[in-house]
Structure formats: C-alpha cells, structure tokens
C-alpha cells in the first residue's frame, strides 16, 4: 500500500489553497504554477473535491476556489477519500478472500494497519498542515534575517582609500 500521486497532489493543493484563500478565491492556474502540478490534473482533483463539498468554485473575473468549510473541519482522510485514493494495505481489499477464498494469515495485521492509517489521517486537519507551513515559512524568514544580520555584523570593514597621499 502506498499513497499515490493523486492523494499527494490533492493534499498539497489543498494546503496551498488554505494558505492563500484569505486573499480571495485561488485559481487552479496559480496553484499549478506554484506546486508544479498539471492544470488539467488539478481540474480533475478539484472536481472531486467539489463533489465532496471540500471546496467551492467561484466563477467569473476574480474567480477560483475556496474551502467549503473551515480548515479545522477538513481532515487529510477527507481529502484522500474525496479523490478516491485507496487506503487499504490488505491484498484482498478487505474482502477476506485473499488466500483461496479464505482470509490469509496476515489479514488482521494489514487490516489493523489500515485502521491506524485512517485514524492518523483523520486526526490531522488541513488547518494543522497550513499552520505548519506558516511556521516553517516564518522560521525560514527569521533564519534568513539572522543570517543577513550576522553577515553585516561580522563583515570586514571596508578600507577607505587614502586620498591624502599624492
């Protein structure tokens, strides 16, 4: 079991939307450019996200997408399920017929892993991920300004050419 590109891109695009929606609707073209995700692929993903009422579209000039509800009310599991991402580590897809129409010896192990994955993804909200990105950006800006200050503070003083000597 692995999370495919579809799920990864959907979560990434939703974080991007969550970071910027306070300035108005966000266009898929802008998300596409920032995140390097194909515009046509985003259109497919956002169609599914809209059908699951995670995003709303706004038409016309200045249109785009916004979250349909608060980021605290959208979990990563919601996003993954909306784009039809399978979250199943069992070989049988949960049907318990993976070994000659019988449950295999490891079925409960993989079913338990499924439950843990879903519980984890259901515990992480879009707001959690947006705030994490804001913190990372803030730390990056702070680190950059500290580096600039260090450079300025410890820079060798420039020598002023002696213009008095002829």
List, for the chain, all residue ranges whose pLDDT scores fall below the cut of 50.
1, 143-160
Position 94 in a domain:
no
Position 119 in a domain:
no
Residue 157, pLDDT score: 47
In tens, the pLDDT along 117-134 reads 889 999 999 999 999 999
Residue 91, pLDDT score: 65
Position 161 in a domain:
no
Residue 31, pLDDT score: 97
C-alpha closest to that of 11 among 126, 98, 93, 106? 126
Position 42 in a domain:
yes
Residue 164, pLDDT score: 52
Position 79 in a domain:
yes
- Looking at the DSSP assignment, which residues form a beta bridge with residue 99? 102
Residue 99, pLDDT score: 62
Residue 111, pLDDT score: 79
Residue linked to tokens 């002829």 = 166
Mention every residue, 6+ apart, whose C-beta is less than 8 A from residue 9. Answer: 35, 37, 41, 42, 45
Position 103 in a domain:
no
Q: Is the pTM of this model over 0.85?
A: no
8 Å CB contact between 13 and 54: no
Position 56 in a domain:
yes
Domain residue limits at 69: 5-86+125-133
- Per the structure block, which two tokens stand in for 48? 């599914």
């Amino acid at each position: 079991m692995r999370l495919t590109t579809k799920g990864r891109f959907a979560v990434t695009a939703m974080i991007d939307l969550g970071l910027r929606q306070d300035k108005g609707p966000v266009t898929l073209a802008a998300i596409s450019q920032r995140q390097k995700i194909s515009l046509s692929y985003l259109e497919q993903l956002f169609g599914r996200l809209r059908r699951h009422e995670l995003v709303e579209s706004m038409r016309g000039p200045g249109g785009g997408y916004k979250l349909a509800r608060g980021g605290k009310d959208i979990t990563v599991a919601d996003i993954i399920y909306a784009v039809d991402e399978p979250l199943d580590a069992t070989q049988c897809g949960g049907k318990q017929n993976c070994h000659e129409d019988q449950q295999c010896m490891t079925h409960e192990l993989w079913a338990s892993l499924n439950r843990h994955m879903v519980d984890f993804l259901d515990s992480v909200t879009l707001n959690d991920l947006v705030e994490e990105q804001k913190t990372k950006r803030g730390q990056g800006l702070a680190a950059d300004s500290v580096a600039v200050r260090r450079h300025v503070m410890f820079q060798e003083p420039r020598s002023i050419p002696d213009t008095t000597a002829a």
